[in-house]
Amino acid sequence: MQASFSKSVRIRRSRTFVVALSAFAIAASVTACSTKKDDGPGAESADGVKMGPGVTKSTIDLGVITDLSGPFATVGNALNQGAQIWFDELNTDGGICGREVKLDVRDSGYDLPKSISLYSEMEADVLGFQMILGSPQMAALGPKMEEDDIFVMPGSWASSLLGRKNGLIVGATFDLEMINGISWMMDEGLIKEGDTIGHIYLQGELGENALAGSTYAADQLGLTLVGQEVPPTATDVTSQVTTLKNKGVKAILLSTTPGQTASAAAADDASGLKVPLLGSNPSWAPQLLGTAAGDALKEHYYVAQSYQLFNADVPGAEKVREEYAAKYKDEPIAVIPWSYAAASAYSAILEKACENGDLTREGVLAAYPEITELDTGGIMPPLDFSDPSEPPTRSVLIARPEDNPLGGLKLVREAETSDLAADYPMPQG
Amino acid sequence: MTYFVELLINGVSIGLIYALIAIGFTVIFKATQVLNFAQGSTLLLGAYVVVQLQERLGFYGAVLAGVAVAAAVAGAIEVFLVRRASTHEHISLAILTLGIDIALATELSRRIGSEVLSFADPWGNRTTAIGPFVVPQARLAAMVVCAVIAVAFFALLKYTSWGIAVRATAEDPEAAALMGINRHRVAATSWALAGGLAAVAGVFMGTAPSPGLTSTANVTALNAFPAAVIGGLDSPGGAVVGGLIVGVVQSLSGGYNDQVSFLGSPLSEVSGYVVMIMILLWRPSGLYGTREMTRV
Amino acid sequence: MSENLTASRQWATRLLVSASVVVVLIAPLYLDQFWLQLGFFCFAAAVGTLGLNLLTGIAGLLSLAHGFFLAVGAYAYVFLAGGSEEGISGALVGAGLPSWLAAILAVGVAGFAGLLFSPISGRLRGIYLGVASLALIFIGQHVLHNYESVTGGFYGRDVPTLSLFGFTFAETDPVLMVLGVPFGREERLWYLGAAILLVAYVFARNIVAGRTGRAMQLVRDNEVAASSMGIDVRHYKASAFVLSSIYAGAAGVLIVLALGRAVPDYFGLALSISYLIMVVIGGLGSLPGSVAGAFFVVALPEVLNHYATSLPFLSQPGGDGVSAVQFSEYLYGLLVVAVILFIPRGLAGVFASVRGRAAPRSAPASDGAQLEPQSSERPHLPA
C-alpha cells in the first residue's frame, strides 16, 4: 500500500512534467520565428560609420576562443594577458572609432567540438575574432570563417595559414625562423657546408612547417638534414638525441615542446655530444632554467623568433613590462610581448576600417591589406599586410637563455632577414 | 653496435620504471581483482608532493613524504571507495577507478599548469661512463633502486605473512578468509604499496635525462598498462619482464625508425601496444598470468 | 489498482514521447545555431553511446576503443565521399562516391573493423580485453597521422557535404524557408541527427529484446552456462563488437558532418573515455540511460560555459579558480564514482524511480533484465 501510494504521487509528478512540457512546446511555437529572422543590412551610425555585427554606437565586440584549462592553458593565458594589456590601454585612450573594444573570452579547453560550438554561438554577435587558438580549430573552421567573411587572428605562425583573405598572421612563420636561424649558425661558424644537422620536430603544424624551412635551408647550403619526429606527449627525447649523435650531427634544431627542449639539452650535454641547439619560438619557456637541464640550456641553446624579448629595450616591451607587473603576478612568458603587438595589429586594421567609414566585416577585410608599415612599439620589425600570401615580416632575431626574472632570455642578434630567407618561396596553404 | 647497446641501456632503464608502475597494477589486481586506472594520477600526485616539499624537507625527505601521501591516497581509495562499491564486477570497479583518475588528474593538472616539475635530486645532470657508454647517473640510480625495490617486493611476497595473505587471497578468497586472513587489510595494504611504488616511479620519470614531469605524466604512465598485461595482470614477476620488454621495444623502435620508415613515425608510440597485442594473441592472459579457464 | 497504474503509466509515457517528438520537430524554428549544433552533437553522441552500451552494458565487454571505431566511420566517409584533391600537407586521394552512399558504406566499414578485431575480442576475457582495446586507440592515432594521402595527416581533411537525392545538408541548395525561418545547415542536420538517433534506438531495442540480446546478456552473466546452453560465446562476443562498431561508425560520420573537418586529435583516448562515462552515468545496460548520459555529458560543459558569467562558482576566463570545463571534468569523475557506489543504474535508474517503473535493483550486472520486453511492458509491481 505504501508502495502504490508513493507511486501514484510519482505518476502525478510525471504527468505534471508532461503537461509542463506540452505547455512549453506550445508557448515555444507561439513565440517562435520572430527570434530567428535576419537582421537585415548593417545600419549606419550618426558619425557616418557603417556598422555590422558586433558593432554598436559605443562598443565593438571581438571574440576570443582560447585554451584556458587544457593542454595549452599557459600559452592561452599569456596570450590573453598580452591582449588584455593592449586593449585596456586602448580603451583608456578612447577606444577605436570612439567605441570601447570588448573582448568576449571563452575557454575551449582545446577541444575541437567545443571550439566549433563556441564559434557558432559567438559568431553572430562579434565583429571578428581577436584570437582563435589551435591549428585543428583553424583548419576545421576555415571554410566557415570564409563564408562568414569574418576576420580572425590565429594564435600561430604556420605558413599553412597564409593566403587567406581573412586570417592575420603577425610575425615570421616557423619555416622562416629555421632558415634565418640556420643562416646565422653558418655565419657564426657553428656549422659549415657539408655538415650533418639534426632536427627534432613535433608531429603537427609547428614541426611540419619548421621542417619545411630546415629542409630548404639544408638543400641550399649544402647540409645534410636528419629529421626525428616526436609526439607532443613525449617528455623524454634522449633516444632521438642518441640517434642524431650516431649520425654525427653538428647542430640540432628543436621544434618541440619546452619539456622536450630541456630533455634534448640535457641529453646533448650528458652524452658528450655538446652541439649547439636552435629552437623554434614555442620551444622555449623561462621555467626551463629551473630544471636540471638549466646549465646545459645556457651553454648550448639558442632560440629564433620574430618578436622582441620580454626584457627588450624598446617602447612596446617597456609598456608591457610596466603593465604586466601592475596587473599580474605570474612569471611572464616569452609570448606576452607578441600577443600585445598582435592585438595592436588587429586594432590598427579596425582603425583603418573606421577611417574608411566601414566597420562591417567587409569593411575590415578591405582595410586589412591597406596596412603596409605598422609600428608595434618596436616589438616587431615594421609589418606589411598588403599581400596576404606573404608573412608581414621575414626577419628573425636570435636569443639565448640567461638567469633573469623577465623571460629568462638575452638577445644575441637583432632581427634580420638573411639572404636565404629573403629568397625563400613561401608555401601556400 | 655501440648505438644498439646505447639504445638497449636506455630501454632497460625506462623499462624498469615502467616495471615499478606495472608491479603496482599487478599487486592490486592480485589482491582485489581490480585494474586501477587511477595509478597514473597517483603517480602524478606523489611527484607533485615531492616537488612541493623538497625545499623544506630536502630531496630524500620529500620523496618519503611523496611516497607516503601517494600510498595513503591509494589506500584510502580502496578503503573508502572500491570496498564500498555495490558491485564486485571487474568492469564496474575499473570504471570506478577511471572516475577517480579523471577527478584527481583534473585537479593536479589545474595546479601544475604548464610548469615542469623538476626534482632537486642529488644526481642532477651528471653522467658516468661505462666503457664507451655514457649513462646519466639518475638513470643508474633508477636502475638500482627499481631493481632493489622489485627484489624486496618479491621477498615480501614470498616470506612475510602479508605476502602469504596476498597470495592466499588471490588463490581463493573464501578459503583465505576462513583461515583467518583479514582480506580488508590485505586489500588496503596492497593498494597503498602500489601507490608508493607509483610515486617512486614518478620521481625517476622526472629525473635526468628527462627535464622533469609535466601535467601529462599520467598519460606517459599508461605505458605501464601494456607492461602489466604482457607479463600477466596477476603476476608481479611478469610485470618486471613486461616493463623491460616495453621499454626496450620502445627504445629500439624509436632508434631504428629510419630503417623502417614505411611503418610511419614516431614508431615508439605504438610499438609497445603492438607487441602487447601479439603476445595476447599467443597467450590471452599474458606471459605469466594465471589462465582463467572459467570465471563465473 | 495495479492495472489502473499501468494504464496511466503507459498514458504518461505516450504523452512524454509525443511531447518530445513535437519539441524536436519545432525546435529549429526558434533555437539559434548554438543550441541546434549542441543538440546535434548530443544526438550523434547518443548514437555512439547506444553502441558502446550494447557492448559494455549488455554484452559485458569493456572497450576503450570506441573512439577508434568512430574514427574509422568518420575517415571512411571522408575518404569515400571525398575527391582527389590537394591538401595542406600533400595530395589526397578519395573515392569520389555519392555522399549518401559513402555514408552508408562508412558505417559498414566501421562494422568490418569491429569484425577484424574479433580474433582478439573472442580470445580475451574481461579486463584483458579492455586493455587490449586501448592498443587500437594508439595504433589508430599512428595510422591517422601517417597515412597522409587518405587521412590528411595531422591537419585532417575537409568533410564533404552530405546530400541525399539532390537535397544537401548545407546552407543552400536548395534554399529552404519554413514559416519565415531560413533552414540552413544546422537546422537540416538537427533533423538528420534526430532521425538517425530514432532509428538507432529502435534497432538497439529490438536487438536487446531479441535472441541476440538475450544471448549476449547470458554470455555476460555466465559464460559457462551460456556455452552449456549451446550459445556460441565467441560468435556473440564478435557480434557485439561488430554491432557496437556500426553504431560508432554512424556516430563518427554524424560528428564529422558537424565538425566540417576530420582531425586525428579529436579521436584520441579522451574520446573513448568520455563515451565510457556517458554509458556509466546513463546506466550500464539501459538504452534510455545511454541517450540521457550522452546528452548530459555533451551538453553540460557547453551549457555551463554559456552561462559562465552568471554562475558565481565558476571562474571567469583567465581567472584563477575553476573553469566551466574543469568543473565539468570534476563532476564527471565524481558522478562516475557515485554511480558505481550508490546509484548502480545511473540516470536511467533515477528516471525509472521518478516515473515509478521497476523497483531498484542492486547491481548493474543484473540490470540488463529490465530491458527485456516483459519487464518494460508489464512492469512487475510489488504488492
Task: Confirm or reject contact between C127 and chain B (CB < 8 A).
Answer: yes
With an 8 Å Cβ cutoff, are C34 and A38 in contact? Answer: no
pLDDT band with cut points at 50, 70 and 90 for residue C380: very low
Q: Give the number of A-C residue pairs with CB atoms closer than 8 Å.
A: 170
Whether residues B91 and C62 touch (CB distance < 8 A) is answered with yes
Residues of chain C numbered 328-347 and touching chain B (CB < 8 Å): 329-330, 332-337, 340-342, 344
* Residue C181, pLDDT above cutoff 90: no
Residue C254 one-letter amino acid:
L
The verdict on a CB contact (< 8 Å) between B214 and A239 is no
> Closest Cα to residue C240, out of C62, C25, C108?
C62
Nearest to B10 among A242, A259, A293 (CB): A242
Using a CB-CB cut-off of 8 Å, the residues of chain B touching A258 are 114, 116
Grid cell 589508430 is found at C140
- pLDDT number for residue A429: 54
How far is Cα C94 from Cα C79, in angstroms, rounded to an integer? Answer: 5
What is the per-residue pLDDT for C365? 41
Higher pLDDT, A33 or B278: B278
Q: What is the pLDDT of residue A401?
A: 94
In sequence order, the 6+-apart residues with CB closer than 8 A to the CB of A189 are: none
Q: Cβ contacts (< 8 Å) between C325 and chain A: which residues?
A: 69-70, 107-109, 111, 114
Query: Which tops the pLDDT comparison, C335 or B68?
Result: B68
Inform me whether the pLDDT recorded for C357 exceeds 60. no
- Pick from A117-126, B114-123, C6-15, C78-87: least confident: C6-15
A–B interface: beta-carbon pairs under 8 A: 117
Q: Which of B119, B208, B219 sits opposite A270 (nearest CB)?
A: B208
Q: Which chains touch C (3 or more CB pairs under 8 A)?
A: A, B
Return residues 43-72 of A near B (CB < 8 Å): 69, 71-72
Statement: residue C370 has pLDDT above 60 = no
- The arithmetic mean of pLDDT across residues A188-215, rounded, is 92
How close, in Å, is residue A110 to chain B by CA atoms?
14
Which residues of B fall below an 8 Å CB-CB distance to A?
3, 6-7, 10, 14, 110, 113-116, 118-119, 121, 124-127, 134, 136, 205, 207-214, 216-217, 219-220, 251, 254-255, 257-258, 265-266, 268-269
Average pLDDT over residues C141-159: 86
- Among C15, C325, C33, CA closest to A123: C33
Residue with cell 560465446: C233
Q: Which chain B residues have a beta carbon less than 8 Å from that of A270? A: 125-127, 134, 136, 208-209
Q: If pLDDT is split at 50, 70 and 90, which confidence band does C358 have? A: very low
CB pair distance less than 8 Å for B87 and C224: no
Q: What is the pLDDT of residues A368-387, one digit of tens each?
A: 888 888 888 889 988 998 88
pLDDT (tens digit per residue) in A403-415: 888 888 999 999 9
Q: From chain B, pick out residues whose CB is under 8 angstroms from the CB of C130.
A: 35, 91, 94
β-bridge pairing A196-202 and A251-255: parallel
Please, what sign has the CA dihedral across residues A112, A116, A121, A124? positive
State the pLDDT at residue A43: 64
pLDDT at C124 over 90: no
By CB atoms closer than 10 A (0-12, 13-18, 19+), residue C235 is middle
Report residue A33's pLDDT band, with 50, 70 and 90 as the boundaries. Answer: very low
For residue A398, give Cα distances in angstroms to A253, A284, A303, B70, C355: 13, 12, 6, 44, 69
ipTM confidence: 0.88
Residue C363 has pLDDT above 80, yes or no: no
pLDDT at A136 over 50: yes
> Which stretch of A171-185, B21-35, B182-196, C23-37 has the lowest confidence by average pLDDT?
C23-37
**Sign of dihedral through CA atoms C150, C151, C156, C157?**
positive
| B2-282 belongs to CATH 3.30.450 | no
- Beta strand spans in chain C (E): 85-87, 90-92, 157-158, 163-164, 167-168, 177-178, 181-182, 261-262
CA distances from B148 to B141, B144, B154, B225 (A): 10, 6, 10, 22
Q: Among the listed ranges A328-342, C97-111, C178-192, which one has the minimum average pLDDT value?
A: C178-192
pLDDT in tens, chain B (296 residues): 778 888 898 899 889 999 999 999 999 998 888 899 999 999 999 999 999 999 899 999 999 999 999 999 999 999 999 888 877 777 788 889 999 999 999 889 888 877 778 888 888 778 888 877 878 888 889 889 988 988 888 888 888 888 888 888 888 878 888 888 888 888 899 999 999 999 999 999 888 777 778 777 887 788 899 999 999 988 888 999 999 999 999 989 988 887 887 888 788 888 999 999 999 988 888 888 887 654 43
Contacts with C, A 269-288, CB within 8 Å: none
Distance from CA of A83 to the nearest CA of C (A): 12
Share of chain C above pLDDT 90, in %: 28
CB atoms within 10 A of CB A194: 10
Nearest to A266 among B113, B121, B211 (CB): B211
Q: Which of B95, B229, B274 sits opposite C128 (nearest CB)?
A: B229
Chains contacting B (3+ CB pairs below 8 angstroms): A, C
Domain ranges of chain B: 2-282
Of B249, B291, B295, B254, nearest in space to B273 by CA:
B249
CB pair distance less than 8 Å for A33 and C305: no
Tell me the CA distances in angstroms from B33 to A22, B36, B82, B162, C342, one per residue in order. Answer: 49, 9, 11, 17, 20
Q: How far is C171 from chain B (nearest CA, A)?
A: 39
Residue A423: the pLDDT is: 92
Q: According to the model, what pLDDT value does residue C54 have? A: 92
Mean of pLDDT values over A331-355: 90
pLDDT of residue A36: 52
